[in-house]
Amino acid sequence: MAENAVQGGAGDTPSAGDTPSGGRPTRPDLAEMVAPLLRTLMAAEQPVLDAHGLTMWAYAVLLYLDETPIRTQAALAEAIRADKTRIIAVLDDLENRALIARRPDPKDRRARLLSLTEEGRRLRDAVQTAIQKGEERLLARLPAADRDGFLRGLQALSALAEPGAGDPGLGTGRRPSQ
C-alpha cells in the first residue's frame, strides 16, 4: 500500500491509466482510499444520529424525501439502495414520530406516497447541520483549492453512482439508451 502512495505536490497527481514502466499503478485504488474515509465519517455521524434517535437508514430517508417530496415506498427504497421489505420498519418509525407522512396513492391504493413533515424537515436540518460541522473540521485540514476540488470531484463521482446513471465502470456517465 505505501509503495502505491502518490508523492509530490499539485500537478503530480497521476491520471487514470498512469502506470510506471513496471506496470504497477502509481496510486491506490479508489476503494482503498475511500473506504477508510467512509468508515471515519460514519463513525463521526453516529453520535449525532444517536442523539436525535435516528438510524443511518432513517437519516437517508429524511435526506431523500426533501429532494423528492412524494415517492412510493418501493421507489424510495430503490433510490436510497435499501431493501424494500426492510425499509418498512424504518418508515413505520418515522411515521410514528410524525417525521414523515404516508398516504395511499389515489392512482394505486396498494402504493404509499411519502412526504416529509415540517417536524421531519426541522430534524433533518438539525442533524445535517451538526454532521456537516464535523465534516468542516476535517475538510479544514485541506488547502482551500484542494477542498473545493475534492468536493466538486466527489459530487461528480457520486452522481455517476446514482441508480439509473449507467455503469460507472463504463467511463461514460451516460445512461444506457432505452
- What pLDDT does residue 169 have? 55
Q: What's the whole-model pTM score?
A: 0.74
- Point out which residues pair with 113 in neighbouring strands: 72, 103
Q: For 87-132, what is each residue's pLDDT tens digit?
A: 999 999 999 999 999 888 888 888 888 999 999 999 999 999 999 9
Instruction: Calculate mean pLDDT across residues 161-177.
Output: 52
Quote the pLDDT of residue 158. 87
* Contact status, residue 117 vs residue 101, Cβ threshold 8 Å: yes
Helix (H, G, I), strand (E, B) or coil at 121: helix
Q: Assess contact for 21 and 96: CB atoms under 8 A.
A: no
Dihedral, 63, 68, 72, 77 alpha carbons, nearest 10: -40
Of 40-54, 60-74, 93-107, 139-153, the least confident: 60-74
Measured distance CA(8)–CA(43) in Å, rounded: 30
Q: What pLDDT does residue 177 have? A: 37
| Long-range contact pairs involving 42-47 (C-beta distance under 8 Å, separation at least 24) | 44/131, 44/134, 44/135, 44/138, 45/131, 45/134
Backbone dihedral angles phi then psi of residue 33, each to the nearest 5 degrees: -85, -40
The pLDDT value recorded for residue 82 is: 92
Residue 115 has phi, psi (to 5 degrees) of -145, 155
Closest by CA position to 82, among listed 59, 100, 115, 51: 59
Averaged pLDDT for residues 37-50:
95
105 beta partners = 108
